[in-house]
Amino acid sequence: MIEAGSLIRSLSGRPAARNFHTFVINEIGHGIVTGQFPVGSVLASDAVMMETYGVSRTVLREALKTLEAKGMVEARPKVGTRVTPSNRWSFFDPQVLSWHFYAKPDARFFESLFDVRSALEARAVRLAAERRTAEHVRLMKYWLHQMELADGNLEALGLSSLEIHRAVAESAGNALLRSVTGIVELTLALALKSLDDTTRNDYARATLAALTELVAAIEKGAPDAAAAAIDTVVALDNARATTLL
pTM above 0.95, yes or no: no
Q: Quick: pLDDT tens for 68-110.
A: 999 999 999 989 999 999 999 999 999 999 999 999 999 999 9
Is the CATH number of domain 106-244 1.20.120.530? yes
Neighbouring residues of 178: CB distance < 8 A, sequence distance ≥ 6:
169, 170
pLDDT tens digits, one per residue of 190-225: 999 999 999 999 999 999 999 999 999 999 999 999
Domain ranges of the chain: 6-88, 106-244
Query: What pLDDT score was predicted for residue 10?
Result: 86
Q: How far apart are CA 87 and CA 188, in angstroms?
A: 24
Write out the chain in H/E/C secondary structure: CCCCCHHHHHHHCCCCCCCHHHHHHHHHHHHHHCCCCCCCCECCCHHHHHHHHCCCHHHHHHHHHHHHHCCCEEEECCCEEEECCHHHCCCCCHHHHHHHHHCCCCHHHHHHHHHHHHHHHHHHHHHHHHHCCHHHHHHHHHHHHHHHHCCCCHHHHHHHHHHHHHHHHHHCCCHHHHHHHHHHHHHHHHHHHCCCCCCHHHHHHHHHHHHHHHHHHHHHCCHHHHHHHHHHHHHHHHHHHHHHC
User: Residue 212, exposed/middle/buried by CB under 10 A (0-12, 13-18, 19+)?
Assistant: middle
CATH architecture of 6-88: Orthogonal Bundle (1.10)
pLDDT tens digits for range 126-180? 999 999 999 999 999 999 999 999 998 999 999 999 999 999 999 999 999 988 8
